[in-house]
Amino acid sequence: STAENNTQIINPEMADVPLHEPSEINSKINLKDYKKPSFDVETVDLDIKLFAGYALVDSKLVMQRQAAGDLVLNGEDVELMAITLDGETLATERYKQADGKLIISDAPDTLTLELQVRIHPQTNTALEGLYMAGSGSDTMFVTQCEPEGFRKITFYPDRPDVLAIFTTRLEADKRYPTLLSNGNLVEEGDVTDAPDRHYAIWHDPTNKPSYLFACVAADLDVLTDYHTTSEGREVTLEVFAKSTDIDKCHVGMQALKDSMVWDEVNYGRAYDLDRYMIVAVSQFNMGAMENKGLNIFNTACVLSSPETTTDARSFNVKAVIAHEYFHNWTGNRITCRDWFQLCLKEGLTVFRDQSFSADQQSSAVQRIDDVATLRAHQFAEDAGPLAHPVRPESFVEINNFYTTTIYEKGAEIVRMLANTLGPDNFRRGTDEYFRRYDGQAVTVEDFLSALSITDSKIEEFIAWYRQPGTPILSGHQHYDSATQTLTITLSQQTRHVAGFDAPIPLPIPVATALFDKATGTIIAERMLMLDQAQQTFSFDNVSSEPVVSLLRDFSAPVQLNYDYQDEDLAFLLTHETNGFNRWQVTQMLVNRILLQSNDSKVYLQALAKTLPTLAVTDPMLAARLLDIPSAQELASAIHQNYDPVLIKQQRDRLYSQVAESLKDQWTILYNQLPLEVYSDSPEALGKRALRNVVLDMALTAGISEAGKWAQQQYDNASCMTERFGALKAMVNYQVTGSDDYLADFYQRFQDDELVIDLWFSVQASAEHVTTDDIQTLLERDDFDWNTPNRIRSVISAFTAQPTVLWTPEGLDIYTSVIKKMDEANPVLASRLLQVLARWYTLVEPRRHMAQDHLNALQQQVSSKHVLESLASVLGA
Ligand code: PHE
Ligand code: ZN
């Protein structure tokens, strides 16, 4: 049956894109070529001395042969000053240095290698390896080693399956009083004969791969707290930040303590060192990094205070803190054998942080937010030329694979595993995983094999890791009143992504409930497991035709295509018991209106019926039910002749219809939601979220007082959610005086980089933004090309307006930023480029115009990061 029914879809959107292998990039690395390292490192002693214009790194590696072959060390941008093997200077003919490698062919089976290299952290703008952050008198040294940054610090077998015990001596000028590295502090002191210099020695007792190494030399304050683990270990918790930011570290500290308890309770995992440190740095490519015992965080993902941080961002801070903490077990103690297994740590850890977050707020809202992110970004990636399996099989530059597919789809797979097993067996599975593989570098197969101890069918989920593309789940129902039987027929199809095997059916858990039409109550609930191309499921003793609710809680990362009537969806909006499912059906209604031109009447009526009560009982959910997908999200569902102007018009029209049809509600609701003294209770958060949505709706509906409400909300705000919500509304609706408010906002917060990022982004993403506005923002003195957060606050914010982005002027700006970053920070450049992946879906002449821009860019860039992404994006 499999072969018959599983007619593969050749995705229409890909029809015109020529698919070749990238030709210029032939240094592909393949999963199938994996070989064990020939040498293991037992211990490594590092001595890092920071000087004004450079750094010297001495290392001593005690190594042991594991397999036949050369001794291979990686090194990039490192200058070899000295090399000895077992105490003897190594003659130049005994090693060779080429293509980022140092190779010794005739190495003995056990050996001690000593190296000295010189590096230049001061001019390292790539933010990988050891780099200097900050500027002027306000600088610090910090490392980023995942995935392959350690090789920019010294020559080393820089691969995750080489685990070693690190001892690190760090020496610097006393301008940098804070000297940190992984593990425990064993010694600190002054440098003899150099009165301005001091050092610290750190020892990490756990075996770790080089990508988890970190060190910091800085002038920072510290917030300290304590946690006693379930095993009785006293752990000192430290969050390091600039003295002016230290009062914004309490939220993160509390989240860290909550995470530690949560992992003890839910997974039986306790922390294993005496010290847990977090350092905030303002120049960082990603959110944060889980280095053993010494996490390094983008300031945006650790600093939070009510006055300066919106609720959404504060929530994100807690989630990222949890994420990095959870990596201590899922990532650090059990790590990846190779970078193809990245989802082993990331998918599992995202699933864990999502579960943690769901326990901190309404679990329905958590699921809504996670699914919205997945659908907006991961589905788009899976539908385009950058589609790849959750476990890829080849890459040129691993940095290009820190994607939403690896992270978010990876987490969805773990969620399916957990739901299929049920809580008890999932816990038995994870216990087994930790028992079996603690201290090792393992694969996705190892993970599945541990989880399957109670159910061998679990191993079939490996297909989800191997196959790219979002499955489309279609279905219909048939009710037979004579036999009182309901049958549901489900089928699955996944597009055939070029370069991969023809798709096979996946195991898709479909959480299903039947609702009685008369009473609105659930009459049956079941997890249907679709593991064929097509299957029929029947329910007996069903006395009248019910409404079927499918894919409840988004039980699988698929696109649902069921033959619902709009009325069925409206019925479910009223009667579904789970808040996530209520949101899901409103999104289905909205998508039918926007993408299939259905009438909006049923949707508007259903909203009118639901909103007034829900606004009181669950304001946060009420706010989410008013979601209309962003212009970008809608674009990701359109596979050809995408016209940004048309989509914007349609979206704006529906938004206005909602605003108009509920016009009376907005005044009532806004008055029901007066500003209150700040609180971080879920209820207060919900009210603030709804108030901002209502304000926006009121402005759209043209309610004459709404401009005043916005001004008053800004003036009397108790926190950033209120102030920024009001500012955003004023800017978007060009409320009289909005420029003065923007100026006031700048004045108030000019010393706070993260708030100024908001100031940039609210303008760069404004409804009426022009390319001239973007250019003006980029030319400001406070626009800083060395700070990714600032670049994103303009350039990424700008992608919120596709009608401006997809113009010759818009793409000139966007691609010129990529070109500029290509050399300075290729990781960032490549990530910015990936956002343009779906250029080929544009309607002409925009499509050719975009293609011309990308072709021109290809002539101007040189990093393998950008070249690999461009090759995929251009399909050439
Ligand atoms: N491993 C980090 C995380 O997900 C992300 C990261 C990747 C940070 C690469 C820096 C560089 O937690
Ligand atoms: Zn992670």
| Torsion angle, alpha carbons of 776, 780, 782, 787, to 10 | 60
- Whether residue 828 has its Cβ less than 6 Å from ligand 1: no
d(CA 340, CA 494): 22
Nearest atom within ligand 1 for CA of residue 323: 12
- Kindly state the average pLDDT of the residues 185-194: 98
Among 148, 158, 289, which is best to mutate for testing ligand 1, by the most ligand atoms less than 8 A from CB? Answer: 289
Average the pLDDT over 249-266 and give the result: 98
The DSSP call for residue 137 is T
Ligand 1 in contact with 290 (CB < 6 A)?
yes
Residue with CA at minimum distance from ligand 1 atom 12: 289
With a 6 Å cutoff on the Cβ, whether 128 touches ligand 1 is no
Question: Which residues have C-beta within 8 Å of that of residue 210, sequence separation ≥ 6?
Answer: 145, 150, 151, 156, 157, 158, 159, 162, 164
Neighbours of ion ligand 2 (CB under 5 A): 346, 349
What are the pLDDT digits (tens) for 771-781?
999 999 999 99
Query: How many residues are present in the chain?
Result: 876
- Determine if ligand 1 sits within 6 Å of the CB of residue 321: no
Using an 8 Å Cβ cutoff, are 349 and 319 in contact?
A: no
pLDDT band, residue 67 (cuts 50/70/90): very high
Token digits for 726? 């009001």
Atom 9 of ligand 1, residue of closest alpha carbon? 146
- The encoded tokens of residue 34 equal 């994996």
- Give the C-alpha distances (Å, rounded to integers) separating 250 from 318, 451, 567, 675, 684: 11, 37, 48, 24, 19
- Whether residue 25 is predicted with pLDDT greater than 90 in this model: the reply is no
Report the C-alpha gap between 61 and 520 in whole angstroms: 69
CB 151, CB 75: distance < 8 Å: yes
CA–centroid distance, 347 to ligand 2, in Å, is 8
Cβ 717 under 6 angstroms from ligand 1: no
| pLDDT in the model for residue 714 | 98
Instruction: Write b or e for each residue in 679-690: b if 16 or more Cβ atoms lie within 10 A of its Cβ, otherwise e.
Output: eeeeebbbbbbb
Residue 289 near ligand 1, beta carbon < 6 Å:
yes
Q: Is the pLDDT of residue 15 over 70?
A: no
Pairwise CA distance, residues 290 & 280, whole Å: 13
Per-residue pLDDT at 738: 97
Residue recorded with tokens 């087994």: 432
**57 C-beta closer than 6 A to ligand 1:** no
Q: State the Cα–Cα distance between residues 530 and 550, nearest whole angstrom.
A: 12
Q: Contact at 8 Å (CB) between 523 and 575? A: no
Measured distance CA(411)–CA(397) in Å, rounded: 23
Tell me how far the alpha carbon of residue 378 lies from the centroid of ligand 1, in angstroms. 18
Rounded Cα gap, residues 383 and 875, in angstroms: 14
Which residue, by CA, sits nearest to atom 8 of ligand 1? 289
722 is catalytic: no
Residues 22/871, Cβ–Cβ less than 8 Å? yes
Please name the residue whose Cα sits nearest to atom 7 of ligand 1.
146
Q: What is the pLDDT of residue 633?
A: 87
SS3 522: strand
Ligand 1 centre distance from Cα of residue 675 (Å): 38
| Ligand 1 lined by 398 (C-beta under 6 Å) | no
For residue 87, the tally of other CB atoms under 10 A from its CB is: 7
Other CB atoms within a 10 A radius of the CB of residue 757 amount to: 21
From the CA of 351, the nearest ligand is: 2
pLDDT in tens, 445-455: 999 999 999 99
DSSP 389: -
* Residue 20: per-residue pLDDT: 40
pLDDT at 26: 60
Ligand 1 centroid–CA 291 distance in Å is 9
Closest atom, ligand 1, to C-alpha of 407: 4
pLDDT digits (tens, 9 = 90+) for 84-130: 999 999 999 999 999 999 999 999 999 999 999 999 999 999 999 99
Indicate the burial class of 419 (C-beta count within 10 angstroms; 0-12, 13-18, 19 or more).
middle
User: Rounded to the nearest whole angstrom, what is the distance from the C-alpha of residue 399 to the centroid of ligand 1?
Assistant: 10
Helix then strand count (H, E) for the chain reads: 30, 31
Give yes or no for residue 576 CB within 6 A of ligand 1. Answer: no
Res 731 pLDDT > 80: yes
pLDDT of 761 above 60: yes
Considering the chain, what is the average pLDDT of its residues? 96
pLDDT at 428 over 90: yes
CB 750 within 8 A of CB 771: no
* Catalytic residue (choose from 13, 114, 324, 412): 324
Name residue, tokens 């699988």.
556
Helix (H) or strand (E) holding 263: helix 250-267
Q: What is the mean pLDDT of residues 325-344?
A: 98
Residue of 148, 152, 290, 320 with the most ligand 1 atoms within 8 Å of its CB, for mutation? 290
Q: How far is the CA of 638 from the centre of ligand 1 (A)?
A: 31
Instruction: Give yes or no for residue 4 having a pLDDT over 80.
Output: no
Direct distance between the N- and C-terminal alpha carbons of the chain, in angstroms, rounded to an integer: 37
Distance of CA 638 to the CA centre of its chain: 23
- For the record, the structure tokens of 842 come out as 């544009």
CA of residue 777 to ligand 2 center, whole Å: 32
Beta bridge partners of 134: 139
pLDDT value at position 632? 85
Ligand nearest to the CA of 301: 1
CA count, 13 A, side-chain hemisphere, 118: 7
Ligand 1 within 6 A of CB of 346:
yes
Q: How far apart are CA 204 and CA 221, in angstroms?
A: 23
Summarize pLDDT for 795-854 with one digit per residue, the tens. 999 999 999 999 999 999 999 999 999 999 999 999 999 999 999 999 999 999 999 999
Mean pLDDT (whole number) for 666-680 = 96
Instruction: For residue 402, give the ligand 1 atom closest to its CA.
Output: 7
**Ligand closest in space to the Cα of 147:** 1
Structure confidence by residue, pLDDT tens digits, 554-602: 999 999 999 999 999 999 999 999 999 999 999 999 999 999 999 999 9
CA distances from 300 to 354, 422, 508, 757, 841 (A): 19, 36, 37, 10, 33
Residue 632 and residue 799: Cα distance in Å, rounded?
Answer: 8
State both tokens at 575.
């009667």
Q: Cα(168)–Cα(43) distance, rounded to whole angstroms?
A: 11
pLDDT in tens, 271-315: 999 999 999 999 999 999 999 999 999 999 999 999 999 999 999
Give residue 316's pLDDT: 98
